[in-house]
């Protein structure tokens, strides 16, 4: 299927890099679209969003929720097309209502790692063509229910907090005299290796926390204080609020 993107931001760029080209891009995000067209074969930049729709069989909506309705309502789709929505917290039925046609609409949550064809991408509802697309970019997870998809969407909202935690630790180390580059390199390497350990061990996170926390030791102390100072409760509260937002 001829694939076209409405919106050319970071996720679009990651998908194009992972696919290696062969797509149509909208002029939204003109600088990035031009750069992708220069670097990858078969990437063209259409004159308008409508031109993307007219040239493609599957249209990817890679736009922010704040502008999504205005953009989608301004487009004219045709029977036989398929729509892949990356618009956060926006149900299939809402997207289909904006389109004005009873087209198949599939939602997905691709992350930047698809550029390297790594990790999984949740999709709903199950669809063989969309699953095949994301299998090329790593692995598709076809969710059985909307509840499963929503919970994975909440999990993906932790990316900023992950880097925020590293930022706080780096700043604390630098304030006490460690060079900034050394603090960044050490914390990035530490967490990267912990991630690989979690991915490959087959152990639960709780088991890994126990394994890396000597009784009465420093690691155990940090997590205990984190909980006592409200860190665990704050994180659970934030996840709950995000879930409410995702569910509308």
Do 194 and 80 fall within a single domain? no
- pLDDT at 75 (0 to 100): 98
- Distance between CA 13 and CA 9 in Å, rounded? 6
Q: Which residues of the chain have pLDDT under 50?
A: none
Task: Record the tokens describing residue 194, joined without a space.
Answer: 């912990």
> What is the Cα Rg of the chain in Å?
21
- pLDDT at 200 (0 to 100): 83
Domain boundary among 106, 141, 156: 156
- pLDDT at 119 (0 to 100): 82
Do 64 and 123 fall within a single domain? yes
- pLDDT at 10 (0 to 100): 95
* Domain extent at residue 223: 159-246
Do 141 and 56 fall within a single domain? yes
Do 178 and 80 fall within a single domain? no
Can you give the pTM of this predicted structure? Answer: 0.90
- pLDDT at 236 (0 to 100): 98
Provide the 3-class DSSP secondary structure of residue 44. Answer: strand
- pLDDT at 86 (0 to 100): 98
């Amino acid at each position: 299927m001829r694939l076209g993107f409405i919106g050319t931001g970071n996720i679009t760029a990651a998908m194009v890099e992972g696919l290696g080209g062969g797509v149509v891009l909208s002029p939204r995000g003109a600088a990035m679209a031009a750069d992708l067209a220069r670097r990858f074969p078969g990437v063209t930049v259409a004159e308008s969003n409508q031109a993307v729709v007219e040239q493609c069989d599957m249209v990817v909506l890679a736009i922010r929720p704040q502008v999504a309705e205005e953009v989608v309502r301004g487009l004219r789709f045709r029977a036989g097309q398929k729509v892949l929505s990356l618009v956060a917290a926006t149900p299939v039925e809402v997207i289909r209502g904006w389109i004005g046609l009873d087209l198949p609409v599939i939602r997905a949550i691709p992350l930047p790692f698809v550029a390297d064809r790594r990790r999984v991408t949740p999709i709903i509802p199950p669809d063989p063509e969309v699953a095949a697309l994301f299998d090329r970019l790593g692995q598709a997870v076809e969710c059985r229910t909307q509840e499963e998809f929503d919970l994975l969407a909440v999990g993906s909202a932790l990316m900023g907090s992950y880097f925020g935690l590293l930022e706080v630790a780096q700043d604390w180390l630098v304030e006490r005299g460690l060079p900034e580059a050394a603090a960044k390199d050490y914390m990035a390497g530490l967490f990267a290796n912990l991630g690989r350990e979690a991915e490959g061990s087959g152990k639960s996170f709780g088991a890994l926390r126990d394994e890396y926390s000597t009784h009465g030791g420093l690691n155990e102390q940090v997590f205990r204080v984190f909980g006592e100072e409200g860190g665990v409760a704050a994180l659970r509260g934030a996840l709950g609020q995000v879930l409410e937002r995702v569910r509308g």
